[in-house]
Amino acid sequence: MEDDKPWALVSGAVEHGLYEDLTPIMKQHFQILCYKDFLQNPQLHGPKIQAVLVWDNIPPTDPLTLRSLPSLKVVANGGVGIDHLDVPYINSLGVKVTNTPGVVSDATADMAMGLLLASARKIVQGHQLSVDPNTTNHKPQSLMGVEVTGSTMGIIGMGHIGCRIAQRGKGFDMKILYHNRTRRS
């Protein structure tokens, strides 16, 4: 039954070529081949490969590599952006390209809001003063920072991430101003 599974070419940057939490599900559905093993004998392995999982631009999806994969059906990018992929060329080979849109929108918006709060309320400076044994004559008012609640937030680009940041800003009763190619409701 193992031989009936399609072959997937993966980066090999980590153990088994996949991140630990992806390995069981990938092995359930695919025969896995790490890129470094592929390079040892591309003529043998190339015709078997039906899927390529791109992680951190590895394996490369350059024309030379892609032409060595005549059975390739899909290039799956392990991230949101696909600017590093020549999508028209890949599609011209009859190969589909996938990505994971929106997968990091909430985490990125959380980080943006955390950085905004840390900056406005001088959290890092306060922490540094609190752990520095040489701190004397500290004036607490110097670390009060600025009020976040009710202030104005400006966002450039209201895609998935921009919208998630705006939602968090609304939780602080912020006035939201944004610039986007198209108006958002």
Would you say residue 128 has pLDDT above 80?
A: yes
Provide the CATH number for the domain around residue 74. 3.40.50.720
pLDDT at 6: 96
Tell me the backbone φ, ψ of residue 154, rounded to 5 degrees: -110, 130
Instruction: Provide mean pLDDT across the span 155-164.
Output: 96
Least Cα distance to 160 among 104, 111, 112 occurs for 104
Long-range pairs of 96-101 with CB within 8 A, sequence gap ≥ 24: 98/74, 101/160
How many structural domains does the chain have? 2
Q: Would you say residue 134 lies in a domain?
A: yes
Contacts (Cβ under 8 Å, ≥6 apart) of 59: 9, 10, 11, 35, 38, 52, 65
DSSP 128-144: HHHH-TT--S--GGGG-
What pLDDT is stored for residue 18 in this prediction? 60
Q: What is the mean pLDDT of the chain?
A: 90
Same domain as 90, residue 29: yes
Q: Give percent of the chain with pLDDT exceeding 70.
A: 95
Q: In terms of DSSP H, where are the helices of 57-98?
A: 63-67, 87-92
* Positive or negative torsion for Cα 67, 62, 99, 103: positive
pLDDT at residue 59 in the model: 80
Instruction: Tell me if 20 is assigned to some domain.
Output: yes
Q: Which tens digits make up the pLDDT trace of 3-26? A: 789 999 988 655 555 667 777 888
